[in-house]
Structure 1
Amino acid sequence: MNIALFYQAKKTIEPKASYEVAVAENPRNRRVSEPGRKKRAVNRHTHFWAPGRSLRIAFLNGDQDFKDAVKAAANNWLPHINLTFDFIEGNEGDIRIQSEAGIYWSYIGTDALLDTDDPTMYLSPDQHMPEFFAANVMHEFGHALGAEHEHLHPEASIPWNKEAVYASWGVNADADENDPKRQAVDERYFNLLDASEVNHSTYDPLSIMHYEVRQHWTHGDVKIDLNLTLSEKDKAFMEKAYPYSTAENE
């Protein structure tokens, strides 16, 4: 299975608004921070919440089993971040979770503050597949904490068989570069982040933020299974993004 079964249509984020809300939340977002795992730079800023704060995470729907499974998986990030999660009911959360079958999606970090009405994260109620569900929840909470996709790392050298990937996602074989379905697949898998615009460590195929790479999607024997746990680089990245003491970074 893929790390995401279905993707919400990408919501338009106005760069100026993204920058302003990020810096208002955490002034350190105004600059690219010290080397860590890669982050997309919009106006060359990051999207981290203010260290030490409590994030209110609202469940808009879902049964208790779903909510308990989300909490258990999301809490795997807590030992590595100077944040607390306050899970609440209602629609007043900084992060608002909608349970919807077949959808996994999240805003990147503080961009969630730009949308005050709609869900900021979608999670499919797949808790009957515990490992798969937990991996997806950790992945989406990684986005909610400010991380981007690892398979789009500037140094990733996955030998994609693009035709096979297109076919798996229902892109017509004769689709040109302007075809919306092809563009969506290109953005999900092939359009690497620009090394001049991101701050990154070495590529990490073990990251929870990496998509599964099926063997028939590549040339040769390259295959990356669904990562089920946080990697050591995932943990180190978040520890730098959300330190308990900022003195060393001033």
Structure 2
Amino acid sequence: MKYENQRLCVPRNPAPRPLPPGMPFERDRLLRVLANVWVNGTELHYFLIQGPEPQRQAVRDAFTEWKGLPLGLKFTETTNRAAAEVRISFDAADGSWSYVGRDVLGIPNTQATMNFGWDLTDDYGHTTALHEIGHTLGLPHEHQNPFSGIQWDVEKVYAYFTGSPNNWSRAQTDSNVLHKFSTTEVDGSAWDPDSVMEYWFPAGLIIEPAQYAAGLMPAGGLSAQDIEWAKKFYPGQAPGPKVLEPFTSRPFTLGPGEQADFALEPDESRPYTISTFGTSDVVMVLFEDDAGTLRYLGGDDDGGTGLNARLHLRLLAGRRYVVRLRLYWAGGTGTSAIMYW
């Protein structure tokens, strides 16, 4: 794929969640690395905001490619904007961008969470669609990996990106290119210059590694490392949920990024509390089983708070619910518990 004056993605992120000072390094690192990862098995609904049909179909095809790895995520197009976690616009004046991972849940449903600002029907457009969906899955830009070893010719980087077609400010160039993530923000994986999350860079911007002085031009599409990352966090085959009985504590022992699923079927309709116990940091998400489709009801993230994840919801007798727990940090004992009452 030839690099020639390509327009590039600008990710959007709310301010990172503040964490208490003095937190142990390992706990801090795990909370930041896993902050935007969905629970495995999540069904993400996406809504296409107008746009020409060829562009819309290109987005559908990119979702299908990610799902076909296979992943333990489901992507479902919906015509109900209010029911969509992911809302995709096609504003040619706004570039291409996406919020990252679970940050989309904090964006009002009147706003898009992803935009495509150029044609998606050629090879570069297909890679752009895969790239923005990668952000929604929780992937950051690869060239900002602290393990990349990239040394930039900073003034040439500014000159290039402040010019056409991107026309970024120096501050935007800092944020999108020159800024390196902290080692606390990434999972420790080696730099992947062929990642779908990597930018294309022309000759003269990179000083080191020397082999990229003539330009960094990924092949396009998903790399082997992209696929490995996605399958690690979203395994296509997961064990079925364990049964959770009311007023009965169920222990769980997980490693960082691992998940436990529980099914519950209340025998009376009333308000219930679902809570974890222990010193671990988890995100807890509750779904209602609607004829085999799991519909999101609520979630709580106790990461870094010193509290436990807890939900208060009215559940209905005879309905089946699934609660999913994804661990950031295991705490002192490595074992926690869940109960509902």
Q: Aligned pair count?
A: 220
The residue that corresponds to 1:72 in the other structure is 61
Matched, 1:245 2:238: yes
Aligned residues of 2:45 and 2:77 also touching (Cα < 8 A): yes
> Runs of at least 4 residues of structure 1 off by over 3 A?
1-8, 10-14, 30-33, 246-250
Question: What CA distance in whole angstroms lies between the structure 2 residues aligned with 1:184 and 1:125?
Answer: 20
The residue that corresponds to 1:84 in the other structure is 74
Rate the CA distance shift 1:149–1:11 in 2: closer, same or farther, 3 A.
closer
Relative to the length of structure 2, the TM-score reads 0.58
Question: What CA distance in whole angstroms lies between the structure 2 residues aligned with 1:66 and 1:162?
Answer: 35
The residue that corresponds to 1:13 in the other structure is 15
Task: Report the secondary structure of 1:215's partner residue.
Answer: coil
The residue that corresponds to 1:230 in the other structure is 222
Matched, 1:189 2:177: yes
Q: Give the partner amino acid of 2:201.
A: V
Question: What CA distance in whole angstroms lies between the structure 2 residues aligned with 1:3 and 1:138?
Answer: 16
Question: What CA distance in whole angstroms lies between the structure 2 residues aligned with 1:181 and 1:14?
Answer: 22
The residue that corresponds to 1:63 in the other structure is 52
Identity of aligned residues (%): 26
Question: What CA distance in whole angstroms lies between the structure 2 residues aligned with 1:127 and 1:183?
Answer: 28
Question: What CA distance in whole angstroms lies between the structure 2 residues aligned with 1:45 and 1:6?
Answer: 22
Matched, 1:138 2:126: no
Rate the CA distance shift 1:3–1:205 in 2: closer, same or farther, 3 A.
farther
TM-aligned CA deviation for residue 32 of structure 1: 5.9
**Structure exhibiting the larger radius of gyration computed from Cα positions:** 2
Aligned residues of 1:109 and 1:146 also touching (Cα < 8 A): yes
Aligned partner (choices 199, 204, 207) of residue 211 of structure 1: 199
Question: What CA distance in whole angstroms lies between the structure 1 residues aligned with 2:225 and 2:5?
Answer: 21
The residue that corresponds to 2:300 in the other structure is none
Matched, 1:101 2:92: yes
The residue that corresponds to 1:120 in the other structure is 113
Q: Give the partner amino acid of 1:206.
A: D
The residue that corresponds to 1:163 in the other structure is 155
Question: What CA distance in whole angstroms lies between the structure 2 residues aligned with 1:164 and 1:11?
Answer: 26
Aligned residues of 1:135 and 1:227 also touching (Cα < 8 A): no
The residue that corresponds to 2:291 in the other structure is none
TM-aligned CA deviation for residue 126 of structure 1: 0.1
TM-aligned CA deviation for residue 142 of structure 1: 0.4
Aligned residues of 2:96 and 2:116 also touching (Cα < 8 A): yes
TM-aligned CA deviation for residue 125 of structure 1: 4.1
TM-aligned CA deviation for residue 88 of structure 1: 2.0
Aligned residues of 1:5 and 1:104 also touching (Cα < 8 A): yes
* CA RMSD, Structure 1 to Structure 2 (Å): 2.7
Rate the CA distance shift 1:190–1:14 in 2: closer, same or farther, 3 A.
closer
Task: Report the secondary structure of 2:170's partner residue.
Answer: helix
Rate the CA distance shift 1:57–1:74 in 2: closer, same or farther, 3 A.
same
**What 5-or-longer segments of structure 2 have no aligned partner?**
20-26, 240-253, 260-341
Rate the CA distance shift 1:46–1:237 in 2: closer, same or farther, 3 A.
same
Question: What CA distance in whole angstroms lies between the structure 1 residues aligned with 2:16 and 2:151?
Answer: 33
TM-aligned CA deviation for residue 46 of structure 1: 2.3
The residue that corresponds to 2:327 in the other structure is none
Residues 68-107 of structure 1 deviation map (CA, whole Å, 9 limit, x = unaligned): 1111122211124111111123422110000011511001
Task: Report the secondary structure of 1:57's partner residue.
Answer: strand
Q: Give the partner amino acid of 2:221.
A: T
Question: What CA distance in whole angstroms lies between the structure 2 residues aligned with 1:201 and 1:3?
Answer: 27
TM-aligned CA deviation for residue 201 of structure 1: 1.3
Question: What CA distance in whole angstroms lies between the structure 2 residues aligned with 1:143 and 1:60?
Answer: 19
The residue that corresponds to 1:149 in the other structure is 141
Question: What CA distance in whole angstroms lies between the structure 1 residues aligned with 2:8 and 2:225?
Answer: 25
Where relative contact order (Cα < 8 A, 6+ residues apart) is larger, the structure is 1
Rate the CA distance shift 1:162–1:86 in 2: closer, same or farther, 3 A.
same
Question: What CA distance in whole angstroms lies between the structure 2 residues aligned with 1:95 and 1:104?
Answer: 15
Relative to the length of structure 1, the TM-score reads 0.78
The residue that corresponds to 2:190 in the other structure is 202
